Amino acid sequence: MSTDDAWKLMSGVPETDGQSIGQLNPELLQSVAHSMSPYAADLGGADQPDKPGFDIAGWADPTDNGHLAGSSNVFAALNTDEEAGTEFTKNAYAAMLAKESEYAQDPYASNAANSLSTAGRLQGLVDKGLLLSTQDEFHDVAEQNKEMYERKAAAYGALTAVGGEALGKVPGGSYVNTMISAGGDPLKEAIIGKEPEPEEQATLAGPNWNKHYYSILNATPELPAELVNDKEYGWAFDGQGKLLPWEEAQARIANNIERGGDYDTMFNRLGRHDDGHGTRITQGYNDVVRNNG
């Protein structure tokens, strides 16, 4: 499933008039997606000692350069059936949010930035997998773009529909709850994007990272006093030193893009200053979606 040849075979099975494995046997693919969902984080390079026995060595990242071409092909194959793709993407989103929340809870831990790299790779895998699978299924680029958006929205909706109390009882669920609560609609839009216009081309425009940074900052139990008290960022905080809701803060700066970049700067000033955390999530994403091989 992970090699380029395997993906070509599964996206257009011989002697089936070009049908994919998901079109030919959706029930089988749904079963595979369900059984692999607990290991979605592994495909993004996460270390999950509580889930032994799933080995990605040699195939998830065959060129050993962080591009995770093998993992991308798995995501693409599972998305040849919409239901299977929604199930797997839902769990990938949960793993991604848990990693962002892990960082937010203790940004000063010695290996905290590694969680951000994994989060970026997971979002990249979702986007790259959907791009590959819908390219195979849709020849009209506007329809493809619409389909990618709708599938991401369905997966995120399936995740939030689980409900906070139920989600909090599963491993890592409390971390996911924290991020969903902290990020709200801005985080949702950062992950699934804006609903595309009919004439838009099917491309990977990339997430709105400022909304990711806002969500992580908002999930951090106590922001550094030097951030809260810095007058340059006064527009972003209320009188009690808490981050304002996204829309309220944007209204204060009239949606000025340059000033909105202060979230990026504040995020860079959070946590350790020797771990490169400010670029880890974007680098993880770019390594996956902007490279072949």
pLDDT, position 207: 87
**178 and 248 in a common domain:** no
**61 and 31 in a common domain:** yes
pLDDT, position 170: 67
pLDDT tens digits, one per residue of 172-208: 789 999 999 999 999 999 999 988 876 655 555 678 9
Residues with Cβ < 8 Å from 71, sequence gap 6 or more?
Answer: 2, 43, 44, 56, 60, 61, 125, 288
* Cβ contact 264:210 at 8 Å: yes
Residue 167 lies in a domain: yes
Query: Range of 16's domain?
Result: 4-209+273-289
Residue 69 lies in a domain: yes
Cα angle: 115, vertex 120, 124; to 5 degrees: 145
Residue 214 lies in a domain: no
pLDDT tens digits, one per residue of 202-259: 555 678 999 999 999 999 999 999 999 999 999 999 999 999 999 999 999 998 888 9
Nearest to 136 by CA among 286, 8, 227, 283: 8
Nearest to 212 by CA among 198, 230, 191, 195: 191
**226 and 99 in a common domain:** no
**251 and 235 in a common domain:** yes
Q: How far apart are CA 142 and CA 198, in angstroms?
A: 6
**151 and 225 in a common domain:** no
**127 and 58 in a common domain:** yes
> Total domain count for the chain?
2
**230 and 188 in a common domain:** no
